[in-house]
Amino acid sequence: MRTSEIKRKTAETDIDLSVNLDGTGVNNINTGCGFLDHMLTLFAKHGRFDLNVECKGDINVDYHHTVEDIGIVLGQAFFEALGDKKGIVRYGNMILPMDESLILSAVDISGRCHLEYELNIPTQKVGDFDCELIKEFWYGFVRTANVTLHIRKMAGYNSHHIIEGAFKSVARSLKQAVSIDKDFSNEIPSTKGVL
């Protein structure tokens, strides 16, 4: 089983997160931010990652530290759970429709962190959630997961749908990328021999 549990405590957040890359989407999410809970639940279900997240953050200030730090810890957990990356497909992509929204994502588990983020969310907030934090979440994730991630809005005008489509699309891209290719289960998918 490719699993990881990460605990991270700072002056701003106290996070306990576990992930099973070979799960069924079972999840228990409690971040103190309802919108983020919703997005992480979708992420777990669509990626079929078992995911538990418990976070106590300084949400009396705003959601910034909570959202960014959970992205960081989720990336760490993916990195650890992948181990030597032997046998993984490595690449994944998905064009996902969410009503009027159409979101493209593509991932390379490359060992190099890079984010190309072009969502262009039309409103500043969804409920009490600052939409600019979505980029902070994914930036935190790619930095610690050591992956290249592209997220692009191809269509869409409803902010909730755009963000939801992004989380679903990335989850499905990641699921494809972390899957084991049975024909190459003992090989590192790189000419360098290491990722």
Q: Is residue 99 part of a domain?
A: yes
Summarised one tens digit per residue, pLDDT across range 33-42 is: 999 999 999 9
Domain count, the chain: 1
Domain assignment of residue 194, yes or no: no
The answer as to whether 195 is a domain residue is no
Rounded Cα gap, residues 55 and 11, in angstroms: 13
Please give the Cα distance from 166 to 103 (Å, whole number). Answer: 6
Q: Which residues of the chain have pLDDT under 50?
A: none
How high is the pLDDT of residue 46? 98
Domain at 157, CATH number: 3.30.230.40
Which residues lie below 8 Å from residue 129, measured CB to CB, with a gap of 6+? 33, 35, 36, 63
**For 117-133, what is each residue's pLDDT tens digit?**
999 999 999 999 999 99
- Please report whether residue 189 resides in a domain: no
Listed in sequence order, the residues at least 6 apart from 103 whose beta carbon sits closer than 8 Å to its beta carbon are 95, 96, 119, 151, 152, 153, 154, 156, 162, 165, 166, 168, 169
Residue 190 lies in a domain: no
pLDDT for 195 equals: 80
**pLDDT for res 74:** 98
pLDDT computed for residue 44 by the predictor: 98
Tell me what pLDDT residue 54 has. Answer: 98
Q: What pLDDT, on the 0 to 100 scale, is given for residue 23?
A: 98
| 55 neighbors 49 (Cβ within 8 angstroms) | no
In a domain, 102, yes or no: yes
Q: What is the pLDDT of residue 4?
A: 98
Q: Is residue 193 part of a domain?
A: no
Nearest C-alpha neighbor of 166 from the set 65, 90, 96, 84: 96
Locate 45 and state its tokens.
């279900």
Range of the domain at 119: 3-184
pTM for this model (two decimals): 0.96
